[in-house]
Amino acid sequence: MIRYKLVLSVLLAFLWIAGVMAEEPSIRRVAAKSRSKQQVGTRLVMSLSRTAPRPKTSQVTPDSLLRQADRMVSWKAYGRAIDIYTQLLSNPYRPINNAQRVAAMLGLANAYRLVGDNEKAEKQYRDWLELVPILERRPQPVLQFAQTLAANGKFKDADEQFELYNQLLADQKVRRLAEGETEAGQRSRSNQPVQYRLEYLALNTKNEEFSPMYFRDGLVYVAGSKGNSTIETKGSGGGSGYLDLFYIPNRNDIRIGTVINPDGTEAKPDNTRDRKRSSTGGDDRTRPTSNDSRTVPNFDAGIRASEGLGYESRATSPSQKFSKSLNTRYHEGPATFSADGTRIIFTRNNFNDGRSKKSAEGINKLKLYTAEQKDGVWMNVEELPFNNDEYSVGHPTLSRDGRTLYFASDMPGGLGGSDIYVTQYQNGRWSKPVSLGPTVNTKGNELFPFVDELGNVYFASDGRRGLGGLDIFMATMAGITPQTVEHLDAPINSPQDDFGLITDANRQSGYFSTNRKDGSDDIVRFVRQSSLYGCRDLTVRVYDAETDQPLDSVVVDVKGRSDGVTEQQLVTDRNGLIRLCLQGDNDFKLVAARDGYINSTVGFSTRALTDDQPSRLEMGMTKPTIVMDTVYTAAPGSPAEVATLTRSRIRGIIMGERDQRPIEGVTVSLRNECNKTTQSVVTAADGRYTFELDEGCDYTLVTTKPAYGTSTSKIKKLPKKSKPKLVAADVRMFSVGDVVTLDNIYYDLDKFNIRADASRELDKLVATLRRYPSLVIEVRSHTDSRGDAGYNRELSSKRARSVANYLISKGISSKRISSRGLGESMPLNSCTDGVICTEEEHQRNRRTEFKVIGVK
C-alpha cells in the first residue's frame, strides 16, 4: 500500500500527491493514521409494541401528557410530540411544577432536534440549562445540546458542552461503580463481534481496485496503477498510471477468488452463480431491445444500461471501462448515482471542457462533477457549485431520494485533515455544505462516505482509535445530524487500510476496499453470518391499564427461547420502568407480576431487526374484577302460588359449602342496580330468605356473616312486561376451617409445574376467590406414600407453591394465599408405607386442596 503524507493540503482518499514538478496529481487516498479512542455508539430506531389505551379525558394530567408526548417521540410522530410539549409549556390553565417543566423543555428540544430545526432546539436546550443546576444535568441531553450547537456552527460553545458531557459521563460512571449497579435500570451489553464471510473478488489485480458503488444491477469501481514510482512527478495523462471508473453490468457475474470464513479459514469459492445466461440483448448473438430493461429501478436493481453506452471491455475480467465520455486522461474517482441511474456525481481532478486548473500552490485539486444520461450517453458534464480551485472535494454519496449529498473535503474551517460534509438539493440548487461536526469529524482524515437506505452514513477515518490504518465507522443520523458513531467489527476492519464500504440497510452484505492482503487495494464482498447486534436495548414501562399511572415494584421475568440465554428478573422503578439489553436473534417472553394485579405477558423478538436503537415496550396491568355469578333458577312452587303473585319474587337457602346445611344469622342484602336501593334480611335456622323483584332491573345479592367468606352474586334482570315469576338463588358460604379438594390437579412424575389440564381446574378456584374476596386460604399439596418421605414433603411444598403462584398471577392478592406441603403425612386411606395398593388408591392420596384459614 502506497502512503502519501507529503502535503497536508491534499487530504482526500485515493489522492495521488504530486511533487513540486507534478502537472497532474492523481486521485489517491490518504492513509496516515492516528490511534485515538472512539467509543462505540448504538443505532437508534424505535420499535414499539403498543398496548397502552388512551387515557380518559378526566385523567389527562401534566404527567399523562408528558407520557403521551414521549410516546409520540418514540413512534417518530415528532410533530404531534412538539404540539403536546408546547401545550404543556404554554397553557396557563394547566399549571405544571418545575420537574414537569424541565421534562417538557428537554422533550421539546429533542423533538426539534430530531426534525432538524436546530435553531429552536438550541433555544429549548438553553432554557433547560437555566432551570437545571449543573450537578443535576444528565450526560445525554448535554451531548445532544453540544451536537446541536455544532450543527448551528457555534463550535466554541459546542466544545464547552462536549467537555461538560465528558465530565458528567465520568462522574456518572464513578457513581454507578460506588452504588454497585443496583438500580433497576442497569444492563450489560454483549461484546460478541459480528461474524462475516469475506470474498475476495477475481477482478482484483496487482494494481489498485477500490471504492465500489452500486449502479443498477452492477458495480462501478475505481481501478488503475501507478507503475513503478512511489510518487508520480510527471505525466501526460491517459496512461496506465491513471485511475479510471470501471463497471461490471451484473453483480451476479462477479467471480470469487478467495473465501475467508468467519473463523479465519480459507474455503473454495462457489462460482456456479456466474454461469452465462442466454437472453435477448444479453449475449453476443442478439442486439439489445427495449424489453431488456427491468421495470422497477432502485438503488441496487433497475434498468440494465450496460449496453450501448460506450463502455470498453477489460480483457482480464467481466468489467468494462465505465464511459469514454467521463473517463479522461486525468484521474476519475469515486462516483454515486441517482436511484433511477440517469444521473452521476463523480470525482475528477480539476479538469473540464479540455482545460485543467491548479491552485495557487500549483496543485491540481479534486472536484465533483455531475452528468446525465441521455440516449445511452453521459453528457452535460458540470461542476457542482461548491467546488474550488484552492481545496479538494470528492467521494460523493447520494441519499435514496437524491436530495442529500455527502462528500469529503479539506476546505477551510474543518476540524483537521479532510472532513465529511453534507449538502441538500433545495429549490433547484445545492445548499451551502455543512460539516457533520465533531461527532463524525476529527483532527485526522474522514473519507469515503456512503449513505444507506435508512440514512446511516458509513465513512473511513484515521482520526479515531481502531485496528490500524484507515478504519470503517458508521454514524447514525437524525436527518442530517449525526447521533452516534460505531466502529465496525473485524473482519470488516483490520490492522491495514479499510475504506469505501457500501451495503444494504441491515448490513447483510456489501463491498469494501482493503489493502490487507498484499499491499495493493482490493475489493472484497462481505456476507453477514450472525446477528448484527450483540444485544438490543429495551425499555419497558409497566402501568395500570385503567388509570395509565406507572406501577413501581412490579417484578418482570424475562425468558429467552434459545438455549444459553440467561433468564433475568428485574423490578420496575418509581416510574414503572426497567431497562435491559436482550440478546440478538432470539425470542423473549416478558411476564410482569404485582400483588393485586393479573399477570401481564408480552412477547418481544430481536430477530430480523434492522437497527439498534433502544426499543420501548409498554405492559398494561389490570386488577381482577369481582366475579358475580348469575345464580337464580326457576323456583319450585305450586301453580296456585305462582298464580297469586303480583310481583316477581326471589327466594333461596344460605348453606355451608362443606356440609350443605342451612346457616342461621346470615345477613342477606339485595341491591337494585336501577335505583341503587337495598333490601336486607337475616336468616333464621332454616337459612331462608325472600325478596320481591322489579322486572327490567339487575340485582346484586350479598351474603355476610362473621367467620364466613362474603359472597357476591349477580341476579339477572327479568324481562319487562313479563308475568310475575318465582325464581330461586341458593348460596353456599365458606367458613374458617373448611377444606376443599381440587379435582383433576395432576403433575408429571417428579415435577411441580402447573400443567395445562390443571390450569383449567385452578381457574375455577380463581373464580371462587374473586367471588369470595374476603377468604384467606392455605393451599395444601399431598403425595402418596411411595418414595422417600423427606423428598415427598419437599416435592409437595413445591407443588403447593406452584398453585399459589398461579393464583397470584391471576390477580389474587398474595396476602390471601399461603402454601404448605404435607407430603405423605395425611393419606385418605390405608395406603401407607409397606401397604400394597392399587394405582387408583394411590391417586386418591395425590391431591391438592385448599383450607379456609381466615376471613379479612
What separation in angstroms does the CA of 403 have from each of 215, 332, 338, 531?
17, 23, 9, 32
Q: Which three cell numbers stand for residue 653?
A: 337457602
Instruction: Tell me if 463 sits within 8 A of 443, measured CB to CB.
Output: yes
CA–centroid distance for 819 within its chain: 40
What separation in angstroms does the CA of 539 have from each of 55, 185, 257, 567, 577?
21, 9, 45, 17, 7
Strands 568-571 and 555-560 turn out to be antiparallel
Q: Pseudo-torsion of CA 485, 487, 492, 494, nearest 10°? A: 140
pLDDT digits (tens, 9 = 90+) for 790-836: 888 998 898 888 888 888 888 888 888 999 998 888 888 888 888 88
Instruction: Tell me if 577 sits within 8 A of 796, measured CB to CB.
Output: no
What is the Cα–Cα distance from 442 to 446, expressed in whole angstroms? 7
Predicted pLDDT of residue 531? 66
Least confident of 121-135, 288-302, 325-339, 696-710: 288-302
Instruction: Tell me if 520 sits within 8 A of 513, measured CB to CB.
Output: no
Average pLDDT over residues 707-723: 83
DSSP sequence for 470-487: SEEEEEEEETTEEEEEEE
CB atoms < 10 A from the CB of 426, how many? Answer: 9
Q: DSSP class of residue 308?
A: S
Percent of the chain with pLDDT over 70: 77
For residue 47, pLDDT beyond 60? no
pLDDT digits (tens, 9 = 90+) for 574-584: 889 998 888 77
CA–centroid distance for 230 within its chain: 49
Percent of the chain with pLDDT over 90: 25
Q: DSSP class of residue 152?
A: T
For residue 142, pLDDT beyond 80? yes
Place of cell 421475568: 557
For the chain, the straight-line distance linking the first and the last C-alpha, in angstroms and rounded, comes to 83
Predicted pLDDT of residue 514? 94
Place of cell 501526460: 236
Average pLDDT over residues 69-85: 82
Map residue 429 onto helix, strand or coil: strand
Q: Which three cell numbers stand for residue 116?
A: 432538524
Beta-carbon contacts of 637 under 8 Å, excluding residues fewer than 6 positions away, are 726
Residue 590 pLDDT grade (very low, low, confident, very high; cuts 50, 70, 90): very high
Average pLDDT over residues 39-60: 31
Strands 343-349 and 332-337 turn out to be antiparallel
Q: Which three cell numbers stand for residue 788?
A: 422417600
Q: Which amino acid is at 154?
A: K
pLDDT digits (tens, 9 = 90+) for 236-287: 333 334 788 999 999 988 999 889 988 778 888 877 654 444 333 333 333 3
Predicted pLDDT of residue 841? 84
Predicted pLDDT of residue 236? 32
What is the Cα–Cα distance from 454 to 610, expressed in whole angstroms? 9
Q: DSSP class of residue 662?
A: B
What is the Cα–Cα distance from 236 to 234, expressed in whole angstroms? 7
Mean pLDDT of the chain: 77
What is the Cα–Cα distance from 796 to 729, expressed in whole angstroms? 38
Predicted pLDDT of residue 316? 42
Order of strands across the sheet with 343-349? 332-337, 343-349, 366-374, 377-383
Q: DSSP class of residue 10?
A: -
What is the Cα–Cα distance from 684 to 670, expressed in whole angstroms? 17
* Interior angle at CA 286, CA 281 and CA 289, nearest 5: 40
What is the Cα–Cα distance from 824 to 786, expressed in whole angstroms? 8
Q: Helices 98-114 & 78-90, crossing angle to 10 degrees? A: 150
Predicted pLDDT of residue 60? 64
Nearest in space to 732 (alpha carbons), one of 667, 671, 664, 662 = 662
What is the Cα–Cα distance from 763 to 776, expressed in whole angstroms? 17
What separation in angstroms does the CA of 67 have from each of 72, 81, 114, 719?
9, 10, 18, 46
Order of strands across the sheet with 446-451? 446-451, 457-461, 471-478, 481-487
The predicted model scores a pTM of: 0.46
Q: Which three cell numbers stand for residue 529?
A: 453470518
CA–centroid distance for 814 within its chain: 35
What is the Cα–Cα distance from 65 to 54, expressed in whole angstroms? 11
Nearest in space to 650 (alpha carbons), one of 687, 678, 676, 688 = 688
> What count of residues does the chain have?
856
What is the Cα–Cα distance from 37 to 43, expressed in whole angstroms? 19
Higher pLDDT: 784 or 510? It is 510
The phi-psi region of residue 750 (left if phi > 0; otherwise alpha if psi is between -120 and 50; otherwise beta) is left
**Which residues make beta-bridge pairs with 477?**
482
Instruction: Tell me if 502 sits within 8 A of 450, measured CB to CB.
Output: yes
